[in-house]
């Protein structure tokens, strides 16, 4: 009888442990699909739902998390382990429960291409966000919406926050792909052709690369064209490693916002352009965004 009692207690402990674990782990859907009329194709996305999503009736704030060049919508899950970091941060109260959405941006840099062949920016703003916020229990208001991303996704984060300040409360670009005119003019031809030509113009060299498409999609140019009051509509968290090849552009971004007297957080930590850096920075970025959802 004592043996049976002991076995029962062990089984109860195992079941209880599994229940507690299930209650503290969010749910991940690695591959969901939205049909896009604007892009004329299906677009994949991944999504993280907080642990209590299926047991509550509440609506949640949302963060759109953008991947980098050559990655896809699974990058932040596979390499960034975003679900693990979000679980821990929510459990210990560092960030509020939130939904994290990770769209597949291919190599679009999340903007409309100069020739109109891939209008990803239009898709994101006009189709993707509205569809996501109708499908899931999301507080579809600026004050409960944030955006973040790394490298190409950091660039997309800046573009969306700067162009659509009425959509986002906070933006957290990590190792953002930011260049000034000189960097674009002097960029090696293979880099231009393989990365940026489809966005701003093909078969261009030197100053010919400073096209209208480039100027309308340069974070530094957009900042220069806006007033301080316009720029203050979004809270910015900028983070880039001291050994990152994009550190110069991020420093220029910091200087541009400083000269406009726009409050922002600027971090330069020890690290390079890699997942080790982004994994160690994402919790602080989400905390910054999460703080924007609070009322003081």
Q: Say if residue 96 is in the same domain as residue 42.
A: yes
Phi-psi map region of 151: left, alpha, beta (phi>0 left; psi -120 to 50 alpha) = left
Selection from 109, 205, 179, 96 nearest residue 143 by Cα = 96
Can you read off the two tokens belonging to residue 134? 């109708």
pTM, full prediction: 0.92
pLDDT digits (tens, 9 = 90+) for 213-226: 999 999 999 999 99
Residue 122 and residue 37: Cα distance in Å, rounded?
11
Of 161, 195, 217, at which residue does a domain stop? 217
In a domain, 264, yes or no: yes
- Helix (H) / strand (E) element for 70: namely none
pLDDT digits (tens, 9 = 90+) for 90-141: 999 999 999 999 999 999 999 999 999 999 999 999 999 999 999 999 999 9
In a domain, 31, yes or no: yes
Q: Say if residue 213 is in the same domain as residue 151.
A: no
Can you read off the two tokens belonging to residue 143? 């004050």
In the block, residue with structure tokens 């390499």? 79
- Count up the domains in the chain and report the number: 2
Q: Say if residue 114 is in the same domain as residue 224.
A: yes
Q: Say if residue 36 is in the same domain as residue 84.
A: yes
Q: Say if residue 159 is in the same domain as residue 260.
A: yes
pLDDT digits (tens, 9 = 90+) for 128-158: 999 999 999 999 999 999 999 999 999 999 9
In a domain, 12, yes or no: no
Query: What DSSP string describes 187-206?
Result: S-HHHIIIIIHHHH-SS--G
In a domain, 14, yes or no: no
- Confidence class for position 24, pLDDT limits 50, 70, 90: confident
In a domain, 2, yes or no: no
Q: Say if residue 163 is in the same domain as residue 143.
A: yes
Q: Say if residue 110 is in the same domain as residue 209.
A: no
Structural domain containing residue 235: 26-179+220-292
Q: Say if residue 277 is in the same domain as residue 206.
A: no
CATH code at 233?
A: 3.40.50.1820
Bridging pattern class, strands 170-174 and 235-239: parallel
Q: Say if residue 211 is in the same domain as residue 126.
A: no
In the block, residue with structure tokens 């674009």? 184
Distances (CA, A) of 163 to 97, 221, 234: 27, 12, 11
In the block, residue with structure tokens 């693990």? 84
Of 217, 239, 265, at which residue does a domain stop? 217
Asked whether the beta carbons of 159 and 226 are under 8 A apart, the reply is: no
């Amino acid at each position: 009888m004592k043996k049976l009692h002991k076995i029962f207690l062990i089984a109860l402990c195992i079941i209880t442990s599994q229940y507690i674990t299930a209650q503290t782990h969010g749910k991940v859907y690695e591959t969901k699909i939205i049909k896009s009329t604007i892009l004329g194709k299906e677009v994949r996305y991944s999504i993280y739902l907080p642990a209590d999503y299926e047991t509550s009736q509440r609506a949640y704030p949302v963060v759109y998390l953008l991947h980098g060049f050559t990655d896809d919508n699974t990058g932040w899950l596979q390499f960034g382990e975003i679900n693990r970091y979000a679980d821990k941060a929510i459990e210990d109260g560092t960030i509020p429960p939130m939904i994290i959405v990770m769209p597949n941006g291919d190599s679009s840099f999340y903007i409309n291409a100069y020739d109109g062949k891939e209008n990803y920016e239009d898709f994101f703003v006009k189709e993707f966000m509205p569809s996501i916020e109708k499908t899931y229990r999301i507080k579809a208001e600026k004050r409960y919406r944030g955006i973040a991303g790394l490298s190409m996704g950091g660039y997309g984060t800046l573009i969306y926050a700067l162009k659509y300040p009425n959509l986002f409360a906070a933006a957290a670009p990590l190792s953002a792909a930011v260049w000034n005119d000189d960097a674009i003019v002097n960029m090696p031809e293979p880099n231009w052709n393989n990365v940026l030509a489809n966005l701003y113009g093909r078969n261009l060299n030197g100053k010919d690369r400073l096209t209208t498409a480039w100027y309308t999609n340069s974070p530094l140019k957009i900042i220069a064209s806006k007033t301080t009051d316009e720029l203050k509509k979004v809270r910015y968290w900028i983070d880039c490693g001291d050994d990152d090849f994009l550190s110069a552009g991020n420093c220029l971004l910091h200087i541009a916002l400083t000269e406009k007297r726009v409050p922002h957080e600027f971090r330069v930590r020890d690290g390079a352009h890699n997942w080790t850096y982004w994994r160690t920075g994402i919790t602080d970025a989400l905390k910054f965004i999460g703080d924007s959802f609070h009322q003081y």
